[in-house]
């Protein structure tokens, strides 16, 4: 896993490292998010932004949403990135875009998809499990590796397996492996 998060320039940035929705607080005004605060920075790392973004996107989107909006989502991210960098660097959007093309962003997402899969395979089953199925992490510390594997293989059941399988299918379609 450490090989997967080694920084590669020019796209490397400071990443959260655990960019999961349970590490984000939203302030709402009139029923809409107006501010965002991130917390839990114990796994901060210098790496590709795709380390955080692929995990966040795969964990928080449905298969249907990905099929319909993936390219649009990457396009919006790319446009915002290029415009922000142009402003910060006091440069033109065209100059920045030559260095940070949409194709480079797509390639980063393909390259780091496996890292996201690893994390989604852990988080998704627990997130969809009913409360009585959820893992008691205090008790898990005393289990053997075999016992841990048995617990993790059961949590979330067929629904979790189906969700992770949909992620694998999408990643394969995008050329991640």
Instruction: Provide the pLDDT for residue 135.
Output: 79
* Residue 90 contacts residue 84 (beta carbons within 8 Å): no
Dig out the tokens for 159 from the structure. Answer: 């629904």
Dig out the tokens for 95 from the structure. Answer: 């100059």
Averaged pLDDT, groups of 10, the chain, 177 residues long: 84 91 94 95 93 95 97 96 96 93 94 93 88 78 87 87 96 95
Length reported for the chain: 177
Dig out the tokens for 14 from the structure. Answer: 């400071």
Instruction: Provide the pLDDT for residue 93.
Output: 95
Question: How many Å apart are CA 60 and CA 165, to the nearest integer?
Answer: 15
Residue that is written with structure tokens 């299918």 in the block = 169
Instruction: Provide the pLDDT for residue 110.
Output: 95
| Rg, the chain, Cα only | 18
Question: How many Å apart are CA 141 and CA 65, to the nearest integer?
Answer: 37
Give start and end residues of each alpha helix (H) in the chain: 49-60, 63-89, 93-99, 102-111, 113-128, 137-140, 145-154, 157-173
Question: How many Å apart are CA 98 and CA 143, to the nearest integer?
Answer: 52
Please state the pTM of the whole predicted model: 0.87
End-to-end CA distance of the chain: 16
């Amino acid at each position: 896993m450490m090989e997967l998060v080694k920084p590669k320039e020019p796209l490397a940035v400071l990443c959260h490292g655990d960019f999961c929705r349970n590490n984000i607080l939203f302030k709402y005004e009139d029923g809409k998010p107006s501010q965002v605060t991130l917390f839990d920075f114990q796994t901060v790392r210098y790496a590709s932004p795709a380390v955080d973004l692929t995990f966040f996107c795969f964990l928080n989107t449905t298969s249907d949403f990905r099929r319909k909006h993936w390219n649009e989502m990457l396009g919006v991210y790319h446009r915002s990135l290029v415009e922000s960098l142009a402003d910060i660097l006091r440069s033109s959007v065209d100059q920045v875009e030559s260095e940070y093309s949409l194709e480079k962003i797509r390639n980063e997402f393909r390259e780091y998809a496996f890292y996201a899969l690893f994390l989604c395979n852990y988080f998704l089953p627990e997130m969809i499990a009913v409360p009585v199925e959820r893992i008691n992490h205090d008790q898990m510390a005393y289990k053997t590796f075999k016992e841990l594997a048995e617990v993790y293989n059961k949590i979330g059941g067929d629904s979790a397996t189906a969700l992770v399988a949909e992620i694998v299918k999408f990643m394969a379609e995008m050329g991640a492996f």
